[in-house]
Amino acid sequence: MHNFAYHRPETLSEAREIFAGAADPLFLAGGQTLIPTLKQRLRQPSDVIDLARIADLRGISIGKESITIGAMTCHADVTASADVRRLIPALGHLAGEVGDPAVRSCGTLGGALANSDPAADYPAAVLALGATIHTPDRTIADDFFTGLFETALAPGELIVKVSFPIPKRAAYQKFRNPASRYAVVGVCVAETASGIRVGVTGAGACAFRQAEMEAALSASFTPEAITGIAISEEDLNSDLHATAAYRAHLIGVMAARAVSAIA
């Protein structure tokens, strides 16, 4: 691990000020990706800014039509929340499927989204539920995930909270890697105020929506409605865990299971 200056600010403004004054800084959220990256010397920051002490970035609040979760809220707190389990059970279930107990106790919502790992669970829910990602200066919706480990966040821009509209019904199903529990393919299906939304993770460079399935389920919300949809292998991931063709098949299987779980 290379040498770097370590900071533990207690306010968001202090964190941003340190970032602006450093040569090559990085924010540290839960550390589930950054710490291994530093240990492998794949990143060489001049400064690491730990966000753990910023109380304003943690917590779960319930609104009339949405649940808002602070960026530094860990996965274990999301899955343990009675309000989340009651109002968006699919989100509580998804958080409980992330990694293992150690990962869920340390990993954070904001860190998972900002990292945009192609196999992360939360991105599927963000897209399916129509969530809004808040930074100190703006909000970002469907166009947040832009590519492999890439998002619409500008350099130094932080996620402070995420608002999840409460759906009429939703479910998340994934085919997990047996060792890491990452999603080989994960699909979240939701009936929202704006219609049916289907978010897919694990299959491509980043999470995406499946428009054909959304249209078919809008006409008939049954597993049979999407059984005949052919998913293109183009632009899907292919690696030692699964070929692009297998991932295309899994999208259909996981989507049908999510619909069955709802219906």
Sorted by where each begins, the domain ranges of the chain are: 5-49, 58-262
The residues facing 175 across adjacent strands are 185
pLDDT digits (tens, 9 = 90+) for 200-220: 999 999 999 999 999 999 999
Compute the distance between CA of residue 79 and CA of residue 89 in angstroms, rounded to an integer: 9
Contact 69, 55 (CB under 8 A): no
DSSP labels, 125-154: HHHHHT-EEE-SS-EE-TT-EEETTEESPP
Question: What residue has token string 């590519």?
Answer: 147
Q: Supply 35's token pair.
A: 């710490």
Contact 201, 194 (CB under 8 A): no
DSSP alpha helices (H): ranges in the chain? 12-21, 34-39, 75-80, 82-87, 89-96, 101-106, 109-115, 122-129, 211-219, 224-227, 244-262
Q: In sequence order, what are the residues at sequence separation of 6 or more whose Cβ sits closer than 8 angstroms to the Cβ of residue 172?
A: 90, 91, 93, 94, 97, 121, 124, 125, 128, 186, 187, 188, 189, 258
How far CA 35 is from CA of 2, 126, 152, 216, in Å, comes to: 12, 25, 23, 43
Compute the distance between CA of residue 164 and CA of residue 26 in angstroms, rounded to an integer: 27
Q: Supply 34's token pair.
A: 């950054």
Low-confidence ranges of the chain (pLDDT < 70): 1
The residues facing 198 across adjacent strands are 189
With both helix axes pointing from N to C terminus, report the angle between 122-129 and 89-96 in degrees, rounded to the nearest 10: 170
Helix (H, G, I), strand (E, B) or coil at 75: helix
Compute the distance between CA of residue 130 and CA of residue 44 in angstroms, rounded to an integer: 35
Question: What residue has token string 């400064």?
Answer: 47
**What CATH topology corresponds to 58-262?**
3.30.465
- Strand order across the 139-140 sheet: 60-62, 66-70, 161-165, 132-134, 139-140
pLDDT digits (tens, 9 = 90+) for 153-200: 999 999 999 999 999 999 999 999 988 889 999 999 999 999 999 999
Architecture of domain 5-49 in this structure: 2-Layer Sandwich (3.30)
